[in-house]
C-alpha cells in the first residue's frame, strides 16, 4: 500500500488484542486471524504491557507466513496506548510502512530477561556440561533477541548499536518520537 492510511481506515480492526501476550492471547489471535477478510487491508490492533516473547514471535511468524502465502491481503499494525516488550517484538514483524501508533502510545524496548539458578554439583565433566548448556541458552537467546531488534530498526534511523545501548535500561519511545526515528509509518 503506497498511501498512508488515516484514522477511518482503522475503525474495524480484523484482529483486536489487548492484555498480556501469552498463549491465551495467541489462541484469540489465531481465532480472529482465521475470521479475517481474505482480501484487502487486515488491521491488527494491539495494546499490551508485554508478556512472553516467544508467543509474540509465533504471532509475528503467522503474520509473515500469511503475508507471503496470501498477497491479496495487506497486514497492518496499529498500536494503542502501550506496546511494551513482547508487543514491540510482535510489531517488528510488520514492515515499517505497515506500522501505525495512536497519539501518546509508548513503545518499550528491552533486553530479554533470564532468571535461573545454576547449581554445580556432581562429577566435574557433567559440571562443565551444565555450565556450557546454560551459556548456550544465553547466547541463543541473545541471537533471537537481536534478530527482533534488527527487524524493528530496519529502514529507520536507529542503529543496532543504539538499541543495544538503550535496551538494557528499558527504552521507552513515545509515538511521535517513533515516527521521527522512522520506526513507524504514521501517528493517528
Q: What is the pLDDT of residue 129?
A: 87
Task: Please state the pTM of the whole predicted model.
Answer: 0.92
Question: Which grid cell is 19?
Answer: 492484555
CA dihedral sign of residues 63, 76, 93, 83? negative
Q: pLDDT, tens digit, for every residue of 35-82?
A: 999 999 999 999 999 999 999 999 999 999 998 888 899 999 999 999
CATH superfamily assigned to domain 7-187: 2-enoyl-CoA Hydratase; Chain A, domain 1 (3.90.226.10)
The string of pLDDT tens digits covering residues 89-144 is: 999 999 999 999 999 999 999 998 888 888 888 888 888 888 999 999 999 999 99
- At 1 the pLDDT is 61
**DSSP alpha helix (H) spans, 8-75:** 23-35, 53-69
- Per-residue pLDDT at 130: 87
Q: How many CB atoms lie within 10 A of CB 170?
A: 12
Q: Rounded to whole angstroms, what are the CA distances from 27 to 31, 52, 74, 80, 170?
A: 6, 14, 22, 21, 28
Q: Would you state the pLDDT for residue 11?
A: 93
What was the pLDDT predicted at 89? 97
C-alpha span between 102 and 79 (Å, rounded): 6
Amino acid at each position: 500500500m503506497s498511501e498512508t492510511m488515516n484514522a477511518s481506515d482503522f475503525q474495524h480492526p480484523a484482529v483486536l488484542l489487548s492484555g498480556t501476550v501469552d498463549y491465551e492471547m495467541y489462541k484469540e489471535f489465531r481465532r480472529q486471524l482465521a475470521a479475517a477478510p481474505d482480501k484487502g487491508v487486515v488491521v491488527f490492533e494491539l495494546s499490551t504491557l508485554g508478556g512472553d516473547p516467544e508467543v509474540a514471535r509465533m504471532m509475528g511468524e503467522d503474520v509473515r507466513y500469511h503475508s507471503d502465502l496470501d498477497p491479496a491481503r495487506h497486514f497492518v499494525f496499529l498500536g494503542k496506548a502501550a506496546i511494551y516488550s513482547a508487543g514491540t517484538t510482535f510489531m517488528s514483524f510488520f514492515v515499517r510502512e505497515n506500522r501505525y501508533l495512536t497519539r501518546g502510545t509508548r513503545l518499550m524496548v528491552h533486553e530479554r530477561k533470564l532468571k535461573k539458578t545454576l547449581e554445580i554439583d556432581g562429577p566435574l565433566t557433567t559440571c562443565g556440561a551444565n555450565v556450557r548448556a546454560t551459556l548456550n541458552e544465553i547466547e541463543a537467546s541473545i541471537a533471537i533477541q537481536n534478530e527482533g531488534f534488527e527487524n524493528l530498526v530496519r529502514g529507520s534511523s536507529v542503529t543496532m548499536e543504539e538499541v543495544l545501548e538503550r535496551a538494557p535500561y528499558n527504552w521507552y519511545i513515545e509515538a511521535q518520537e517513533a515516527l521521527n526515528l522512522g520506526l513507524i509509518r504514521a501517528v493517528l
